[in-house]
Amino acid sequence: MAARTHREAQRLYSFCNFAVFFLLISGLFVLNSFALTSYTRRELLDIGEDFSNRFITNLRLIPEIARTPEATHSTRPGGSARRRRRDRKQRRGKRGGLRAKLKLTPLRLSLPSIFLANVRSLVNKMDELRLRITHSKRLLDCNVMVFTETWLHSDVPDNAIELAGRYTLRADRTADDSGKTRGGGLCIYVNKAWCTNTVIVGRHCSANLEFLMVKCRPFYLPREFTSTIITAVYIPPDANAKLALNELHAAISKHQTAHPEAAFIVAGDFNHCKLKTVLPKFHHHVSCHTRGDKTLDHVYTNIDGAYIATPLPHLGQSDHLSLFLTPKYSPLINRVKPSVRTIKVWPTGADSSLQDRFQHTDWSMFASQAACGSHTDIDIYTSSVLNHINTTIDSVTTEKQITTYPNQKPWMNKEVRHLLKARNTAFRSDDAQAYSKSRANLKRGIKKAKYCYKLKVEEHFSNSDPRRMWQGIQVISDYKSSNSTPTVMDVSFLNKLNYFYARFNSDSKETATKTTHSADHQPLKLTSTDVHTALSRINAHKAAGPDGIPGRVLRACADQLAGVFTDIFNLSLTQATVPTCFKSTSIVPVPKHSSPMCLNDYRPVALTPIIMKCFERLVLAHLKDCLPPTLDPHQFAYRRNRSTEDAVCTVLHSALTHLDNNNTYVRMLFVDFSSAFNTVIPSKLTTKLGDLDINTSLCNWIMDFLTNRPQHVRSGHTHSTTITLNTGVPQGCVLSPFLYSLYTHDCKPVHGYNSIIKFADDTTVIGLISDNDETAYRKEVQHLATWCADNNLLLNTSKTKDLIVDFRKKKGSTHDPIHINGMVVERVSSFKFLGTTICEDLSWTTNTSSLVKKAHQCLFFLRTLKKNQLSSTIVVNFYRCAIESILTSCITVWYGNCSVADRKALQRVVKTAQRITASEGNKKKQRINPLESINAYTRFGVFSPDNPEKNLNYTFSFDRTDKCNTSIESVKGLLFFVYRHNNNKTLCTYKIKITNKECCLQPLSALIFRYKCVIKMNCNSVNTQRRDMREISIESLTCLLLN
């Protein structure tokens, strides 16, 4: 025990000595390391910068391995790009772009990559071609190679031009077909790793055209395409361009009819021909020169933005550059996200349940709660009624969410989805027999689903339900469908849009004050029958407004709701106050372009309560009865028996009649306003309504309707803050267009040589100028600018255009530009006026080309309907509505002066539609006759000078002998429109004067007429070159047809 204690004492003594020694050494270290000099932050930074500048030179390193301090990673001179990217300290994400996508998945592209070259003897270029394919991964993975001018013939076997891993498809020139023994020839190589289902569907060889058409069904193809049809084309330099393009158009159009949803690619050497002249729907993808300073090799597709062309070196001694086309198209499923919508589910018997509940509702209770003495607060009364209706609707309906995919087919039902899952399960099970059986079941299921959907659409036609039938046609053909989902916007952006739409509100300096009415005034009073009729005519499929009450409820419960809404309407008219909930507006911003860049690129679509629109219709009918029919005869919008055709024809009639005189020309000023509807001042409008003897109480009601209007912008379930507007007329209301036309009714010309044509806010000033004297015209323009400033309408000078029609050989001097508010108005050679393009030489090629292009776009939908085997009656009706309506748009104005080429372009569209709609058993049967309805009967637009409101479409029926079956006495005193034969550029209006069953035509200056087709006279014995009265039998009037 004593020994253990002694050892512990020795250990404690040794530890104390060690501790003292450690403390002594630590104290000396701290004393020596104490800093005698201190540095500031700036001094330390200067030292570091000086050290960095002398780092490389002081170390004397080898330059190849030297690295600057700024370098964040080592600079390795060797190694591949992938290894250098891997050695970086900060890793990057996956590389993007078309080239990276092409390298990553060269055989799973939406469209095939294409190598195009004019080889001039393919046999001599095979060695270089194989060498390029070996050393270029781009060409090695290329899906399709197209070669023109192969100079191949029957003596050259396929083995001599084979490429490893590719199918060889060739079309050699033959002397019997082309008349030439050498040159020409086409060849297409298809990569077997991209597609093995390849077949030649057409080939042609003639003196003007050679083409080879190949249909491919690759392993990967987006759902929106059924196949890929590639056409190699060679048109010789000395070929007839019109014949060659017509033959090529016929071949492509035939396969478009058979495969309307296929991706069409047309590539080759076109020389002096342009495919877009016959197929304006196709898009061009080559912008670089391919031979010298000319572009002879082209690639066209029916897909916009499908490819990016890259020039490559010449192949051998060929004088054409090679082209490599990289696919740029993105599948629809990747471009558009699925849309999720919340809808109301109406169970069976919901309408009857609502009718029963509203029938037993005591509506007088809501009026008594809003009453304060003898005065009833209309806002409280109306809002309580609307809240009760919404609460009742929510109690009988449910909500659910629906997800819609952009590439979803209309016939895709639950059975097809189950078959599709069964096919996928069998594929993963490695059971070949089960997989084959599931594929056959899926094919039969899809065929059955398509047939059932077709019968469903045809059933709507037989049941006289055109709306449901048209919806089915739109879904099948994807006609006018919106594949873009609404952009989700935050509240701050919606607030910016709301203030942008209300930017004109602060410009109004006049206060809105109601006019004091006399004691004996009689406010407008509506009956319950009128309200019931308005509710019964509501379109149940229109979107609900901010109040949330759908049109379906208002229409189904018209008997139960007519009484309470009649009381509200009459109370509103008596107090000259519109309920605030009726005036509220919800604006949905819709992009004007695919990629909006600024606030002005969003078009405001206003939604107002449906019940308020019914109220407005009743007030509008009363306003029209109070106004004379001759008010503002040059306003062609919102008037009975007037249309855009009348406005365009009136403009041309004024101009062409004046141009018949010597030393004359015409100036047309197409005026553009900035948000014309939003700048209307309510106080000025009510003053003008008072000048038209409108009831004072009704003027005050309109004043209240246009002031203190709540407005907000919504996107999905997101809403902006609400602001109040006191300027403008809301564009989503029924009254707004008519009120705007009354607001501008006093905009009239001050000089007799000028005229102002108006169609809503589209205003055109026509100046009839003689002897180079533009004084009256320029004063008219300045007067218009002054009138606009006084009425708070903002002229948009940058979009206002000036068009001059001058046929004089000696024009004397150049035309001076027009100035508005110190800015020069741009002069243009053509302008699209109300859908019709007017050129300065009054030619109609530009207008016809635009119409043909629009009609070509609709041919795709016609082919889709034909492919789905809809009945010929429905297909022809679709042609009438979608294509013939385009071709005959304002046809009475422009068709008589069309060139032969323009008429052939129109006829080409009609013939294509004929081939599409022809039955399989009788391809030659003409199912569509151009303007067949006009051929059966002729509608003359008539105008009675004594009573302009009684304008009618008078019908003259003809039999096969063109003998008129209509009583001649019934057309006395009517006007119709006719072309003069002595001058194709002159249109005149004539009056029918009846004298002993004969009629004479007298030129008139009346400009209001309506028509359905161009009329011409059969003048074998009558000289119509003179403008005096000529007698002509009414039996000789015939119709000018498109043939």
Please state the domain extents for the chain: 39-72, 103-335, 407-482, 506-523+576-839, 845-930, 933-1039
pLDDT class for 189, splitting at 50, 70, 90?
Answer: very high
- Model pLDDT, residue 943: 33
Is residue 113 very low, low, confident or very high in pLDDT (cuts 50, 70, 90)? Answer: very high
What is the arithmetic mean of pLDDT over 544-561? Answer: 89
Which range (357-361, 743-747, 792-796, 865-869) has the least confidence? Answer: 865-869
Report pLDDT for 229. 94
Place of tokens 């679709």: 878
Query: Cα–Cα distance between 345 and 348 in angstroms, integer?
Result: 10
pLDDT at residue 307 in the model: 93
> What is the C-alpha separation between 762 and 785, in angstroms, rounded?
15
Q: 10 Å Cβ neighbour count for 93?
A: 5
Amino acid at 626: C
Position 211 confidence tier, pLDDT thresholds 50, 70, 90: very high
Q: Nearest-5° angle of CA 520, CA 522, CA 527?
A: 155
Checking if the pLDDT of 508 tops 90, the result is: no
Residue 256 has pLDDT above 50, yes or no: yes
Mapping DSSP to helix (H, G, I), strand (E, B) and coil, where does residue 78 land? coil
Residue 847 CA from chain centroid, whole number: 18
pLDDT, average across residues 958-985: 35
Question: Residue for token digits 């409280």?
Answer: 380
Please tell me which residue, 237 or 31, carries the higher pLDDT value: 237
pLDDT at residue 11 in the model: 65
Q: What pLDDT does residue 47 have?
A: 73
pLDDT classification of 502: cutoffs 50, 70, 90: confident
CATH classification of 103-335, choosing from 3.60.10.10, 3.20.20.80, 3.20.20.105, 1.10.3720.10? 3.60.10.10
pLDDT > 50? residue 159: yes
**Mean pLDDT score, 106-130:** 90
The confidence band for 248, taking pLDDT boundaries of 50, 70 and 90, is very high
Cβ neighbours, 10 Å, residue 482? 10
| Selection from 807, 778, 761 nearest residue 647 by Cα | 761
Confidence at residue 266, expressed as pLDDT on a 0 to 100 scale:
95
What is the separation of C-alpha 603 from the centre of its chain, rounded to a whole number of angstroms?
13
DSSP 431-499: -HHHHHHHHHHHHHHHHHHHHHHHHHHHHHHHTT-HHHHHHHHHHHHTTT---PPPPP--HHHHHHHHH
Instruction: Write the pLDDT tens digit of every residue in 914-952.
Output: 888 875 444 444 444 443 333 322 333 333 333 333 333
pLDDT (tens digit, 9 = 90+) per residue, 587-606? Answer: 888 887 767 778 888 888 88
Higher pLDDT residue, 9 or 560? Answer: 560
Dist CA 711 CA 694 (whole Å): 28
Structure confidence at residue 988 as a pLDDT band (50, 70, 90): very low
Whole-number Å distance between alpha carbons of 170 and 185: 8
Q: Which of 343-347, 595-599, 678-682, 920-924 has the lowest mean pLDDT?
A: 920-924
What Å distances lie between residue 850 and 618, 836, 860, 905, 913, CA to CA?
A: 40, 9, 17, 11, 18
**pLDDT over 70 percentage in the chain:** 75
> With 50 as the cut, is the pLDDT of residue 1002 above it?
no
The mean pLDDT of 422-438, rounded to a whole number, is 87
In the structure encoding, which two tokens stand for residue 988, read together?
């005149």
Q: Which residue has the higher pLDDT, 523 or 93?
A: 523
Task: For residue 166, name the pLDDT band (cuts at 50, 70, 90).
Answer: very high
What pLDDT does residue 464 have?
62
CB 710 within 8 A of CB 585: yes
pLDDT computed for residue 32 by the predictor: 57
Phi-psi region of 295 (alpha: psi -120 to 50; beta: other; left: phi over 0): beta
Least confident of 17-31, 491-505, 990-1004: 990-1004
Listing DSSP states for 689-747 in one string gives HHHTT--HHHHHHHHHHHSSEEEEEEETTEE---EEE-SS--TTSSHHHHHHHHHTTT-
Residue 28 has pLDDT above 50, yes or no: yes
Q: Is the confidence at residue 228, as pLDDT, over 90?
A: yes
pLDDT of residue 1038: 29
Task: Please calculate the CA angle 802-805-809 and round it to the nearest 5 degrees.
Answer: 135
The model's confidence at residue 997, banded by pLDDT at 50, 70 and 90, is very low
**% of the chain with per-residue pLDDT over 90:** 17
Mean pLDDT calculated for residue range 134-145? 91
pLDDT of 924 reads 43
Average the pLDDT over 677-683 and give the result.
87
What is the pLDDT, as a whole number, of residue 925?
Answer: 42
Q: What is the mean pLDDT of residues 854-879?
A: 80
904 vs 1028, which has greater pLDDT? 904
Q: What is the residue-averaged pLDDT of the chain?
A: 77
Residue 890 confidence class, pLDDT cut points 50, 70, 90: confident
pLDDT of 42 reads 75
- pLDDT tens profile 608-640: 899 999 999 999 988 888 888 778 888 888 887
- Inform me whether the pLDDT recorded for 719 exceeds 80: yes
What is the pLDDT at residue 894? Answer: 86
- Cα–Cα–Cα angle for 977, 983, 984, nearest 5°? 65
pLDDT higher than 80, residue 77? no
CA end-to-end span of the chain: 135
Where do we find the tokens 């218009």? 784
Q: For residues 775 and 742, what is the distance between their CA atoms, to the nearest angstrom?
A: 29
